[in-house]
Amino acid sequence: MQYSQLSALIRQKQSMLCVGLDSDLHHIPAHLLRSPDPIFEFNKQIIDATYPYAVAYKPNLAFYEALGARGWDSLARTMEYMPKDVFRIADAKRGDIGNTAALYARTFFETLHFDAVTLSPYMGKDSITPFLEYPDKWVIVLARTSNAGGADFQELKLQDGRHLYEAVIQKSSQWSSHERMMYVVGATQSEAIRHIRQLIPKHFLLVPGVGAQGGDLRAVLQYGSNEHGGLLINSSRGIIYASNGQDFAQVASKVAQALQEEIKQIMQW
Ligand SMILES: O=c1ccn([C@@H]2O[C@H](COP(=O)(O)O)[C@@H](O)[C@H]2O)c(=O)[nH]1
């Protein structure tokens, strides 16, 4: 999906909502455990219920890899089922030397047909560029993450006074354009969002941390949005586990709708 298409999708759906598919056998409703592929069945119903309100979906690979081959099957089925007109993010947080990175790129872009994959910048340019060889695919680089420990390294001060996360953004944004790269910034880090938006006015930001982690949606939108939308705002547990009863999909739909309406209202669309 191209930058202009993502921006148009946001305008059309009046939403920046990304639904996180952190689907866990220990948390999905018990009645689904009787189906042949409970994780796929859960994801399918969550996607159907939230599709009118979401522009993106983000399966987190940890939840699938933990189940071994069964988890990969559930993920592959989920990707086959997922509508093609949403932005599909593999939250994999990969990063390795070039020839290994090329195989990760093949996994997520060719085998599983994601539009984007999250990457750790720690190993530098040659760990990122193999992903950029795929036209129309995106990399999403970790910048200032939502967790408290994110400060341990990301906020280290360099000799020139910049935080490490700023240096990561300024350097890596030279490797491709805003049409192929995004950055992860936690919703819990509203000051960083404000600062990052000044550094990179055109880039999209993937913002996890509203809902269960308590990030401030209004501040995210106020500081992070731009004229193209500029934000994908993720909520995982807050939507998919809003109910663990028979009504889980209806409740997920209501929570997703409420978030979309809140985004629309704050953006004054
Ligand atoms: O900085 C980051 C980067 C990634 N995540 C991931 O996003 C979701 C958030 O889930 P919630 O249930 O909405 O808290 C999850 O997959 C994280 O691994 C993040 O939270 N922060």
pLDDT of 211 > 90? The answer is no
- Answer yes or no: are the C-beta atoms of 194 and 154 closer than 8 Å: no
In a domain, 15, yes or no: yes
Q: In this predicted structure, what is the pLDDT of residue 147?
A: 97
Local structure of 110: helix, strand or coil: helix
Give how many domains the chain has, as a whole number: 1
pLDDT tens for 9-43 read 999 999 999 999 999 999 999 999 999 999 999 99
The tokens of 98 are what? 């070039």
User: What is the chain's mean pLDDT, rounded?
Assistant: 98
In a domain, 177, yes or no: no
In a domain, 154, yes or no: no
Indicate which residue's Cα is closest to atom 1 of ligand 1: 145
| CA gap 39, 70 in Å, rounded | 9
- CA 213 to ligand 1: nearest atom: 14
Q: What is the pTM of this model?
A: 0.98
Q: How far is CA 230 from CA 25, 84, 204, 222, 241, in A?
A: 33, 20, 4, 11, 27
pLDDT tens for 129-141 read 999 999 999 999 9
pLDDT of 46 > 90? The answer is yes
Mean pLDDT of 99-128: 98
For residue 208, the surrounding DSSP H or E stretch is: strand 204-208
Q: How far is CA 67 from CA 25, 41, 63, in A?
A: 9, 15, 7
- 209 alpha carbon – ligand 1 mean position (Å): 6
Q: How far is CA 41 from CA 32, 65, 77, 78, in A?
A: 7, 17, 10, 9
Mean pLDDT of 243-247: 97
In a domain, 39, yes or no: yes
**Model-level ipTM above the cut of 0.95:** yes
Q: In this predicted structure, what is the pLDDT of residue 151?
A: 97
| CA gap 178, 139 in Å, rounded | 10
In a domain, 199, yes or no: no
CATH number at residue 82: 3.20.20.70
93 is catalytic: yes
| CA gap 110, 96 in Å, rounded | 18
Ligand 1 probe mutation, 146, 196, 217, 220, most atoms within 8 A of CB: 146
In a domain, 151, yes or no: no
pLDDT tens for 63-98 read 999 999 999 999 999 999 999 999 999 999 999 999
Angle between helices 69-81 and 38-50 (to 10 degrees): 30
Domain membership of residue 222 as a residue range: 3-137+207-267
- 243 alpha carbon – ligand 1 mean position (Å): 19
**Active-site position among 13, 44, 58, 93:** 93
**What is the band of 162 on the pLDDT scale with cuts at 50, 70, 90?**
very high
pLDDT of 212 > 90? The answer is no
In a domain, 143, yes or no: no
Which residues lie with the beta carbon below 6 Å from any ligand 1 atom? 20, 22, 60, 91, 145-146, 184, 186, 208-209, 211-213, 234-238
In a domain, 174, yes or no: no
Mean pLDDT of 233-258: 98
Environment class of residue 96 by beta-carbon count within 10 Å: exposed (0-12), middle (13-18) or buried (19+)? middle
Q: In this predicted structure, what is the pLDDT of residue 185?
A: 98
Ligand 1 probe mutation, 236, 239, 241, most atoms within 8 A of CB: 236
